[in-house]
Structure 1
Amino acid sequence: MTLVQLARKNIRKNFTNYFLYFASMIFSIVIYFTFVSLKYDSTILATSDGSPKISSAFTGASVVLMIFVAIFIWYSNAFFTRKRKKEVGLYSLLGVRKKQIGRMLFYENLMMGLLALVIGILLGSLLSQGFVSILMKVMGYDAVANFRISPQAVIHTIVVFTVITVITSFHGYRLIYRFKLIELFQADKEGEQEPKASLAMALLAILCIGFGYWLALQNILESAVWRSMGFMVTPLVIVAAVIIGTYLLYSTFIVYLLKLARKNKKRFWNGVHLISTSQLLYRMKGNARTLTIIAVLSATTLTAVGTAYSFYYNNRSSVALADPNSMMFIASDQRIANEVQDLISRNKKHELVYHESTPALQLKVDITSLNSKISSDIVSYTILANSAFNKLAEAQQRNDSLSLTGQEAAVLDAGYYEGLSPEYVGSTVSLKAKELTENVTFTSLKPYNVLNLRTANTTVVVSDEVFARLQQEAPLVNIEAYKITHEDDAKALTNEIQSMLPREAHFSSFYMDYAAGMESSGLLIFMGGFLGLVFLAATGSIIYFKQLTEAGADKDRYVILHKIGVTKKEIRKSVAKQSLFVFALPLIAGIAHCAVALTALSRLIQTNLVIPVLICIGAYACMYIVYYFLTVSTYYNIVTKSNA
């Protein structure tokens, strides 16, 4: 029998153990092929007008995926090599040279990699049309995908994964020369010494994570720590503290807790607790690095996907805040304004909810006295009279009104950010119009707009008497505001109106900003979702491989336990508890890290991320649970296979 035939036979006989690794590789190849295909897809390029943003986004995502998959395959290979050390030792004992054993393992890995590559490309080609349709849907485009296999994508995928497979195959080949014969037969007994853990190191783990969390939750604008460390260095300190703390959490703190649990004699000697606690204690330190990587990766995945989905989820409300009117423009030509009104009134797809023609002034104002950290000293304000504001607020059903007198003023700033935005309330600014200067004092701040931001910038409301005086010195403009039904599906009407208006009309519409937001956030959620699935598949697989490796080592112990009277039900209970512990630790840590990161982000961008983040965490946890039950079932089957 040749080495190639032996390798093929080994794959067939061990395919059950290899299946999840093989499936994860195929899934990774499918996603990579999809991303590269979408970069060249004619439907996407035509619908998005050849946007370079989409092309560069998929290029970046494919690079990230390529790096991650390479690490995953490398890591998985190491697990399988250790799992088969005893088998390799037998080959050596029978006189097979290390060179031949290495070549056999090289052929095995190469055959599996090439088979996964072929299946992945075929599946990716078949599913590409569906992926294009999903992307078009989440980006808000109405387009039908055409089936087409991209030659560039096929070539890219073959080159990348062939290189990865060859490198990992050589890595497996080299590992054979690193071990002596005795080490190969004693592989299952490696790392079985009882780990040491001190209270000081356990407390240090909590302190590191606590310090990272505390630093992340600081108000960036007011924190003296952030200022002293620097805004570029502090995030790196946070990441380092959390990663070190997570590693110490698993290598010392959990070990310390398990040793405390062992001291509880009543519980420890009760049923399978003795088995579960001892197994976890002896292996926790050896598993610390793997659990840390999975926890950090889970946190990164959840944070990225949660953030992307939050932008997608909040897109409508964000646009509604910036564009309270479906369409708005400055009417410099009354004839064109009448044509637009007639066009909207005649449109059968969209009913007119309201139309307000609002007189306004547009002035350049010096706001140096407001101490703004993000605005220039001279800004453009759109000035509204108190009565005009109340009329628009009533049309928009805001249940809010103003009663300004004398030199009182109110500012409408939907993007107000405390600490960065101007200090409005109590401050005074000068509104200058030719020879007239009106000093007004802000008495109120409204965190919303009644005029579209792109047309009006920041809106300031003054008393009717101040507005009357100012309009005598400054040119008056009429701002036309329309509200229509189905404003998020007004592409044709929006384009037609935009083509009618001159550039100086500063036309803005709900649809344009909504479509732009859907394109950007839809692209993010598509990439984040699929990359998240790959990361989940890889991290779940790594724990699965790790548990299966331990199952092989524990098999003899469970055989003995079964012979002395431990039932299969008790064995399954023990396996379930051990696996739950290993799966839950990185998931809980990942969710905790993610929660802190997203809390800090939500404060920074002043957006409520709770609902979309809970949805992402729930979906992630459900898929993790599937891996857990699969692992418990396989582990149990391995350790009870020989039991009577």
Structure 2
Amino acid sequence: MTLAQLAGKNIRKNFTNYFLYFASMIFSIVIYFTFVSLKYDSTILATSDTSPKISSAFTGASAVLMIFVAIFIWYSNAFFTRKRKKEVGLYSLLGVRKKQIGRMLFYENLMMGLFALVIGILLGSLLSRGFVTILMKVMGYDAMANFHISPQAVINTIVVFTVITVITSLHGYRLIYRFKLIELFQADKEGEQEPKTSLAMALLAVLCIGIGYWLALQNILESAAWRNMGFMVTPLVIVVAVIIGTYLLYSTFIVYLLKMARKNKKRFWNGVQIISTSQLLYRMKGNARTLTIIAVLSATTLTAVGTAYSFYYNNRSSVALADPNSMMFIANDQRIANEVQDRISRDPKHEVVYHERIPALQMKVDITSLNSKISSDIVSYTVISNTAFNKLAELQQRKDSLSLQGQEAAVLDAGYYEGLSPEYVGSTVSLKAKELAENVTFTSLKRYNVLNLRTANTTVIVSDEVFARLQKEAPLANMEAYKMTHEDDAKSLTSEIQAILPREARFSSFYTDYAAGMESSGLIIFMGGFLGLVFLAATGSIIYFKQLTEANADKDRYIILHKIGVNKKEIRKSIAKQILFVFALPLIAGIAHCAVALTALSRLIQTNLVIPVLICIGAYACMYIVYYFLTVNTYYKIVTKSNA
């Protein structure tokens, strides 16, 4: 039997152990091939106006995926090679040279890599139409994808994954020369010394994570810590503190808790509890690095996907805040305004909910006294009367009204940011029109718009008396505002209105901003979702591999337990508890890190991320649970195989 034949036989006999590794590689190749294919897809190029940006985005995502998959395959290959130390030792005792053993393992890894590559490209080709359709759907397009296999994508994928497979195979080949014969047969006894820890180190773990969380949750604009360390250094300090704290959490704090649990004699000596606790205690420190990597990667994945989905989820509400009217423009020419009205009224797909003409004044105002940190001293304000505001607010069903008297004023600023935006309330500005200057004092701030932001900028409401005096001195700008049904599906109507209106009309529409938001956030959620799935598959597989290695090492112990009277139900219960602990630790830490990061982000961008983030965390946890049950079943089968 040749080495290649022996390698093929080993893969067939151990395929159960290799399955998740093989499946994860296939999944990674499918996603990579998909991302590369989408760069060249004719449907995307024909449908989207931003296809060059989409191509660039998928190029970047493919590069990130390529690096991650290379690390994952490298880690998995080294892991499997070390896992088979005893098998390699037996080959050595039988007279097989290390060179031949290394070649056999090289062939194994190369075969699996090539098989995964072929299957991944075939599956990717078959699923490519579905992936394009999904992308078009989340970006808000109704285009149907045509079946097309990109030769560039096939060549790119073959080259990239062949290189990764060959390099990792060579790495596995080199590992063989680093093993000594005595080490190979003592492999199962490695790392079995009881780990040492102390209360001080356990508390240091909590302190590091606490410092990272505390810094992350600080108000960036007001925090002395952020100012002293610098806005570029502080995020780095947060990341380092949390990573170090997470590692210490697993290597010291959890070990300390397990030792404390062992001192509870009543619970420790209860049934097979002694087995679960002891095995976790002895192996926790050795697993600390792996669990830390998985926790940090889970946190990064959840944060990225959660943020992307939040933008997608909140797109409509964000656009509604900026564009409360379906369409709006400045009517400088009554003939053109009538033409627009006629076109809108004739459209069969959209019913006009309201059409309002708002008398407005557009003025340059000096806001030096407002101490703004994000705007210039001279800004453009659209000034409307109290009566006009109340009428629009009623039409928009806001259940809000104003009763301004004398020199009182209110401001509408949907993008108001505490600490950066102008300090409106209590401040006075001068509204100047020719020889007239009206000094008004802001008594109210509303964090929404009644006029579209792109047409009107920041809106200031003044009393009817002040507006009447200013109107006599300043040119009046009549603003046409329309509210229509199905405003998110008005592509053709929007295009026709844009063609009618001149640029100085400053046309804005709900559909334009909604479509742009759907396109950008849809693209991000598509890439983030699929990259997140790859990361999840990889991290779940790493824990799976680790537990299978421990299962083979523990097999003899469970056989002895079974012989002295421990039934299989109790063994399964012990295994389930032990593996639950290993799966839950990085998941809980990842969710905690993600929650803190997204809380800080939601404060920064002033957006509520709770619902979309909970959806992402729920989906991630459900998939992790699937990995958990698969690992428990496989572990149980391994340790009870000889107990029949």
Q: How far off its partner does 1:389 sit?
A: 0.8
Partner of 1:139 in structure 2? 139
SS, match of residue 354 in structure 2: strand
Alpha-carbon distance in structure 2 between the residues aligned to 1:189 and 1:25: 30
Task: Tell me which residue corresponds to 2:510.
Answer: 510
Q: Deviations over 1:337-381 (max 9, x none)?
A: 001001111111100000000110000111111001111111100
Query: 2: CA distance between counterparts of 1:45 and 1:260?
Result: 62
Separation in 1, partners of 2:578, 2:458: 59
For 2:473, what is the secondary structure of its paired residue?
A: coil
1:19-63: CA deviation from partner (whole Å, max 9, x where unpaired): 110000000000000000001101011111353221111011101
- Secondary structure, counterpart of 1:221 in structure 2: coil
Distance 1:123 1:221 in 2: 50
- Cα distance in 1 for partners of 2:272, 2:377 equals 72
- Deviations 1:578-613, CA, capped at 9 Å, x for gaps: 000000000000000000000000000111100000
Contact 1:36 1:58 (8 Å CA) reproduced: yes
Aligned residue in 1 for 2:360: 360
Deviations 1:60-84, CA, capped at 9 Å, x for gaps: 1101100100111111112211111
Cα distance between partner residues in 2 of 1:506 and 1:52 = 27
Q: Which residue of 2 aligns with 1:231?
A: 231
CA distance in 2, matches of 1:270, 1:148: 62
Task: Report 1:100-139 matches (<5 A).
Answer: 100-139=100-139
Aligned mates of 1:237, 1:56 — CA distance in 2: 31
Q: Distance in 1 between matches of 2:159 and 2:379?
A: 54
Whole-angstrom CA distance in 2 between matches of 1:397 and 1:563 = 75
Q: Aligned partners of 1:270 and 1:415: how far apart in 2?
A: 60
CA contact (8 A) 1:392 1:450 kept: yes
> How many angstroms apart in 2 are the aligned matches of 1:434 and 1:75?
74
The CA deviation string for residues 588-639 of structure 1, in whole angstroms up to 9 with x for no partner, is 0000000000000000011110000000000000000000000000000000
Distance, in Å, in 2 between the alignment partners of 1:255 and 1:79 is: 24
* Alpha-carbon distance in structure 1 between the residues aligned to 2:92 and 2:557: 26
Query: Could you report, residue by residue, the CA deviation over 1:158-180 in whole angstroms, capped at 9, with x for unpaired residues?
Result: 11101100010000000000011
For 2:346 and 2:157, the matched residues in 1 are separated by: 53
TM-score, normalised by the number of residues in structure 1: 1.00
- Distance, in Å, in 2 between the alignment partners of 1:192 and 1:536 is 29
* CA displacement 1:321-342 (0-9 Å, x = unmatched): 0000000000011001001001
* Counterpart mapping for 1:531-610 below 5 A: 531-610=531-610
> How much has 1:434 moved relative to structure 2?
1.4
Higher mean displacement: 384-393 or 28-37: 384-393
Q: Counterpart of 1:498 in 2: which secondary structure? A: helix
Deviation at 1:398, TM superposition (A): 1.1
Per the alignment, in what secondary structure is the counterpart of residue 411 of structure 2? strand
Please list every run of 5 or more consecutive structure 2 residues that lacks an aligned counterpart in the other structure: none
Alpha-carbon contact 1:413-1:447 (below 8 Å) kept: yes
Deviation at 1:467? Answer: 0.8
Please list the CA deviations of residues 395-442 of structure 1 after superposition, one character each: whole Å capped at 9, or x if unmatched: 111111111111110000011111010000000001111111111100
**1:209-256 CA-partner distances (Å, limit 9, x unpaired):** 000000000000100110111111100000000000000000000000
Maintained 8 Å contact 1:323/1:452: yes
1-side partners of 2:345 and 2:127: how far apart? 44
Contact residue 328 and residue 455 of structure 1 kept, 8 A? yes
Matches of 1:637 and 1:330, distance apart in 2 = 74
Correspondence list, 1:57-96, <5 A: 57-96=57-96
* SS across alignment from 2:177: helix
Measure, in 2, the Cα distance between the counterparts of 1:306 and 1:432. Answer: 47
How far, CA to CA, are the matches of 2:218 and 2:517 in structure 1? 29
1:389 pairs with 2:389: yes
CA distance in 1, matches of 2:2, 2:517: 59
Q: 2:435, 2:223 → 1: CA distance?
A: 45
Secondary structure (helix, strand or coil) at the match of 1:369 reads helix
Corresponding residue of 1:172: 172
Q: Any residues of structure 2 matched to 1:520-531 within 5 Å, and which?
A: 520-531=520-531
CA contact (8 A) 1:360 1:477 kept: yes
* Identity within the alignment, %: 91
Secondary structure of 1:218's aligned partner? coil
CA distance in 2, matches of 1:503, 1:388: 25
TM-score, normalization: structure 2? 1.00
Question: Structure 1 residue 282: deviation in Å?
Answer: 0.2
Residues 491-515 of structure 1 deviation map (CA, whole Å, 9 limit, x = unaligned): 1111110110000000000000000
Secondary structure at the counterpart of residue 382 of structure 1:
strand
The equivalent of 1:332 in structure 2 is 332
SS of 1:178 mapped into structure 2: coil
In structure 1, C-alpha distance between the alignment counterparts of 2:167 and 2:444, rounded to whole Å: 66
Q: Deviations over 1:244-283 (max 9, x none)?
A: 0000000000000000000001110110100000000000
Q: Deviations over 1:513-567 (max 9, x none)?
A: 0000000110011001000000000000000000000000000000011111111
**Equivalent-residue separation in structure 1 for 2:166 and 2:381 (angstroms):** 63
1:273-284 to 2 correspondence within 5 Å? 273-284=273-284
Distance 2:233 2:342 in 1: 58
* Structure 2 Cα separation of the partners of residues 228 and 56 of structure 1: 38
C-alpha distance in 1 between matches for 2:394 and 2:151: 58
Distance 1:490 1:185 in 2: 71
| CA shift digits 1:181-202 (9 cap, x unpaired) | 1101111111110000100000
Q: Answer whether contact 1:79 1:549 (CA < 8 A) is retained.
A: no
2-structure distance, mates of 1:610, 1:397: 26
In the alignment, the residues of structure 2 paired with residue 384 and residue 420 of structure 1 have an alpha-carbon distance, to the nearest angstrom, of 25
CA–CA distance in structure 1, aligned partners of residues 474 and 129 of structure 2: 58
SS, match of residue 383 in structure 1: strand
Deviation at 1:294, TM superposition (A): 0.3
Checking the alignment, whether the CA contact within 8 Å between 1:352 and 1:485 is kept in structure 2 is yes
Partners of 2:325 and 2:111 lie apart in 1 by 61
Gap runs ≥5 in structure 1: none
- CA distance in structure 2 between the partners assigned to 1:510 and 1:108 by the alignment: 57
Question: Aligned partners of 1:217, 1:289: CA distance in 2, in Å?
Answer: 26
Count of residues in correspondence between the two structures = 644
Give distance in 1, aligned partners of 2:511 and 2:451: 15
Tell me the distance in 2 between the aligned counterparts of 1:584 and 1:296: 14
Question: What is the rounded CA distance, in whole Å, between the counterparts of 2:396 and 2:180 in structure 1?
Answer: 79
Alpha-carbon distance in 1 for matches of 2:397, 2:16: 63
